[in-house]
Chains A and B, each alone.
Chain A
Amino acid sequence: MIAAAPLAYLGRQTLALLALTGQVSLFTAQGLSHIFRPPFYGREFLVALLQIGWLSLPVVGLTAFFTGGALALQIYDGSTRFSAEAVVPQIVAIGMVRELGPVLGGLMIAARVTSSIAAEIATMKVTEQIDALVTLSTHPMKYLTAPRVLAALLVVPALVGVGDVIGVFGGFIVSTQQLGFNPSTYIHNTVDFLEVRDVLSSLAKGCAFGGIAATMGCYFGMNSGRGAQGVGQATKGSVQAAAVLILAANFLLTSLFFGT
């Protein structure tokens, strides 16, 4: 009996995880399907666009800028004196555009957007606002989930793109101001080295991560428990799930784009 207890625990956890996966997949499919079926709520969509895109710009931009700068310093330190001027711009560009831009941008979105969506919707659930929506003949998935998920799918790639540029710019600033590189050579090396595939992969990741971030916020919010504790749990769970899923999706997309 006692020896079997950890095994039973493991089994229960596995089953719970599988059930959760199923529910989340179902929820995602529903959320996506509501994007394409009327009625559409334009005002909610615009508000979500503003909240997710515009207001996240400072955080994503700063993250990218400092990361690009740090990356340049690291590579400079690790490369030989003579090859540095060619290698630093190339690796900063590749590193930012392929991996760090989308991943760090996605994680910042999870911290900022997922948490706020989850807390807002969970509070609506706890205060019966979701029930009120239903009695007012408004589908919560359409009114709350669809506009947020659509906005994130559209605006997070743009955000990641801007982040990539700012990240490269961070590397440029550090290299030219601190390491004494020639500015035009730096830009030349960056542009020459980047491929269309790099940029496309970055935007595709942005799209996927945005979708994950918004969907997790909505899912955990809608399924919140009761009371303030329920809201806290929902928020925590949503950020955790979004972050892990973003990293997993990043691995998948990287192997899809660049795996041999």
Chain B
Amino acid sequence: MITLRDVHKAFGANKVLRGVDLEVPRGSSMVIIGGSGSGKSVALKCVLGLVPPDAGQILVDGKDATRGDRDAFLARFGMLFQGGALFDSLPVWQNVAFRLLRGSLKRPRDEAREIAVEKLRRVGLSPDVADLFPSELSGGMQKRVGLARAIAAEPEIIFFDEPTTGLDPIMAGVINDLIREIVTEMGATAMTITHDMTSVRAIADNVAMLYDGVIKWTGPVAEMDNSGDPYLDQFIHGRADGPIAAVR
């Protein structure tokens, strides 16, 4: 279970998070929606400790995420970054198997490679891709390699930052199914950021909308359509006019 309590984060005068409260039950899939620049990525990075929050509490299974053994803490996590964040000095398979080639989860090299190729297949990439370098791939392919890397060590908690952005509709469908599968079959806890409403409906158990630095609405995905919240309504229907200003 992941709990955020009154989390604040500002970059200089830019107050990005102004008291975020959120609960993600173990083994469930939470989708965070919200306008671009609303602080969704920053919120995920706060949980991982990549960005230190200015105030508030972040608990993972009841324990303060910012204290204690960082290595043990991070070993439970997988993260797909918004831009992929692949290591461009390493070929694709070594990116995917990064965790399996060093540290506490180290395996023999050929075994690590086998796992990498299998994970690549699960995100719809053929084994030929394994020996290419990230710079030789399209944006959508890089995204999927990032996804394969995030799930390679079969983490308990997985964060996906815009997993389907830049993918064609069919590939987006494949990735949505994959994320759903990881949650239901492996029992992982997932937090996914997306703008794609098809994705939201395919992936989410619960939905949270971040607006103006706080969680404006949160609830089960089934209640999203008749929430009666004008902000949420405008967002999920993509209307230009409503309470959310188009110029931000």
Contact = CB atoms under 8 A, between A and B. Distances in A.
A16 interface: no
A126 to B, nearest CB: 9
Given A127-B83, A128-B85, A129-B85, A135 B102 contact: no
Interface string A193-226: 0000000000000000000000000000000000
A39 B48 CA distance: 22
A19 interface: no
Contacts of A134: 48-50, 74
Nearest to A129: B85
Contact of B83 (A41, A128, A133): A128
Given A129-B86, A129-B87, A131-B45, A138 B103 contact: yes
A137 interface: yes
A137 B83 contact: no
A124 B103 CA distance: 21
B79 interface: yes
B105 to A, nearest CB: 8
A256 interface: no
Interface string B67-91: 0000100110111011101111000
Interface of A: 39, 41, 124, 127-129, 131-138
Given A128-B85, A131-B45, A137-B71, A39 B79 contact: no
A228 to B, nearest CB: 14
Contact of B74 (A127, A128, A129, A135): A135
A128 B82 CA distance: 9
* B49, B85, B86, B88 pick with most chain A CB within 10 angstroms: B85
B50 A136 contact: no
Interface of B (DSSP majority class) = mixed
21 contacts: A41-B102, A127-B83, A128-B81, A128-B85, A129-B85, A129-B88, A131-B45, A131-B48, A131-B81, A134-B48, A134-B74, A135-B48, A135-B77, A135-B79, A136-B74, A136-B99, A137-B74, A137-B75, A138-B98, A138-B102, A138-B103
Contacts of A132: 79, 81, 85-87
A201 B74 CA distance: 46
Given A128-B81, A137-B71, A137-B75, 6 more contacts: A124-B87, A131-B45, A132-B79, A132-B86, A135-B78, A137-B74
A18 B243 CA distance: 49
B104 interface: yes
A137 B87 CA distance: 14
B193 to A, nearest CB: 14
B104 A137 contact: yes
Contacts of B99: 136-137
Interface in B41-73: 45, 48-50, 71
B227 to A, nearest CB: 33
Contacts of B98: 136, 138
A132 B78 CA distance: 10
A11 B85 CA distance: 40
A150 to B, nearest CB: 17
Contacts of B77: 135
A39 B81 contact: no
A41 B102 CA distance: 9
A52 to B, nearest CB: 15
B135 to A, nearest CB: 11
Contacts of B87: 124, 129, 132-133
Nearest to A128: B85
B244 to A, nearest CB: 26
B74 A131 contact: no
A12 B22 CA distance: 42
5 nearest A-B pairs in the assembled complex, by CB-CB distance: A128-B85, A132-B85, A135-B79, A128-B81, A131-B50
A136 B45 CA distance: 14
A135 B74 CA distance: 6
Contacts of A137: 71, 74-75, 99, 103-104
A183 B50 CA distance: 64
* B48, B49, B102, B149 pick with most chain A CB within 10 angstroms: B102
A142 to B, nearest CB: 10
A175 B74 CA distance: 64
A39 B87 CA distance: 19
Contacts of A131: 45, 48, 50, 81, 85
Contact of B102 (A39, A127, A129): A39
Contacts of B88: 129
B58 to A, nearest CB: 15
Contacts of A138: 98, 102-103
Contacts of B78: 135
